[in-house]
Amino acid sequence: MEKGDASKAMEEKMRAVQIHAPGEFSVDWVPVPHPGRGEVLVEVKAVAICGSDPGIFNGKVLQNGWPPHFPFIAGHEFAAQVVALGEGVTNLKPGDRVAGEAHCGCGTCEMCKKGYYNLCLNYGNQAAGHHHYGHSSPGCYAQYQVYDQKALTLLPDNVTYDEGTLVDTAGTAYNALRLTGVEPGGFTAIIGPGPMGIMAMCLAKAMGSATIVIGRRQRLAMAAKLGADYTIDYEKVDDPVEEVRRITGGGAHQVIEAAGNATAYFESVQMARKGGHVALISIPPKDGQEAALKSLIMNQITLHGVRANPNCSKIVLDLMAQGSLNVKDQITHRFPMEQIHEAFDTFIGRKDGALKVIVHPNGDC
């Protein structure tokens, strides 16, 4: 199949990673999908493994309806090149380099009209125009895929495909900081130096805040290497909350939780100063009472839930293009799609300091 030959692409088959049952997946030959009205066919150049992908692959989030059926093609952090247009596409053309989003709202419900397409009231209703790519709609662990034009943003010329895959991570981190606000010259505390936490740290620094990252081991060292102003190893201090309050003189102006455990939820509120803001990015397995409610009330702290990255892609891509946001150094490993099992083992096991692991469905780009 010649790259860029749209008609030939749609007549043939492609390689894609299919989940056949929880924990069972393989690279298979499947038909190349056809774009419908308002959709484009893209050649997927690079895919980043997201922290939510292992749960989709191993069946731990089946209660969310992810995946909706077997076999299923997952994946949602990607960059690609447009190769064919469906009817009614107005803002893209073949050859365009694009980065994608997981959430694509119906565009007509109350939430979508307000710009909160991540909270679309027609969630899961593809007939109404909603897609959650890689979750309830097929995703990007494939050589080709079809996407609604609303879910794609043009890549700046100086942003690579690999860097473009980090739009989702960067956008979600930016959404958290947009919700909390960033106090110029203030302090941002980030719990959890994984890909999302480190991205939030980089963005907070770019927005004028001093940063404190709480974590341990290789990933905390990575946060320091990438520019954290302060690091706190929770295995080596008696009380991370008191350490944050000591450094900041009373608590951080904004706290970003990206660790995903009850201790982090609880301590994130306690780390905020009076009148501060806390954003929770990670998703607990079920509703509970992990927040420090008395501290929340007595210190008039504002708590934000963060879901995805609505209207953030162009902003973070512009920051990448301008050199204000360095994502290149966060990419630690790259694999061809045929080595998908090794790629997942590397990401899940954090082998060799793995942070962001990239998969190339069509070879190196």
Please say whether the beta carbons of 83 and 10 come within 8 A: no
Kindly state the average pLDDT of the residues 230-246. Answer: 98
Task: Flag whether pLDDT at 4 surpasses 50.
Answer: no
DSSP 290-332: -S-HHHHHHTT-EEEE--S-TT-HHHHHHHHHHTSS--GGGEE
Q: From start to end of the chain, where are the E strands?
A: 13-21, 24-31, 39-48, 77-85, 97-100, 103-104, 131-132, 144-148, 152-154, 187-191, 210-215, 230-233, 252-257, 272-280, 302-305, 331-336, 356-360
* 73 pLDDT more than 60: yes
pLDDT cut 90: percent of the chain above it: 93
Please determine, for residue 7, whether its predicted confidence score (pLDDT) is greater than 60. no
**Predicted structure pTM score:** 0.95
Average of per-residue pLDDT values in the chain: 96
Q: What value does the mean pLDDT take over residues 136-158?
A: 98
Question: In the structure, what pLDDT confidence band is assigned to residue 5 with cuts at 50, 70 and 90?
Answer: low
> Is 289 or 128 the better-scoring residue by pLDDT?
128
pLDDT at 120 over 90: yes
Amino acid (1-letter code) at residue 99: A
What is the mean pLDDT of the segment spanning 352-364?
96
Map residue 168 onto helix, strand or coil: helix
Give the pLDDT score at 2.
44
Q: Which pLDDT band, with edges at 50, 70 and 90, does 141 fall under?
A: very high
The answer to whether residue 10 scores a pLDDT higher than 60 is no
Q: What average pLDDT does range 35-40 have in this prediction?
A: 98
8 pLDDT higher than 90: no
Hey, what amino acid is at 360? H
Residue 327 has pLDDT above 90, yes or no: yes
Please write the tens of the pLDDT for every residue from 256-313. Answer: 999 999 999 999 999 999 999 999 999 988 888 888 999 999 999 999 999 999 999 9
> Does residue 250 carry a pLDDT above 50?
yes
pLDDT computed for residue 343 by the predictor: 98
What pLDDT, in 10s, does the model give residues 187-202?
Answer: 999 999 999 999 999 9
pLDDT in the model for residue 289: 81
Residue 221 in contact with residue 243, Cβ under 8 Å? no
pLDDT at 287: 87
Average pLDDT over every residue of 4-14: 66
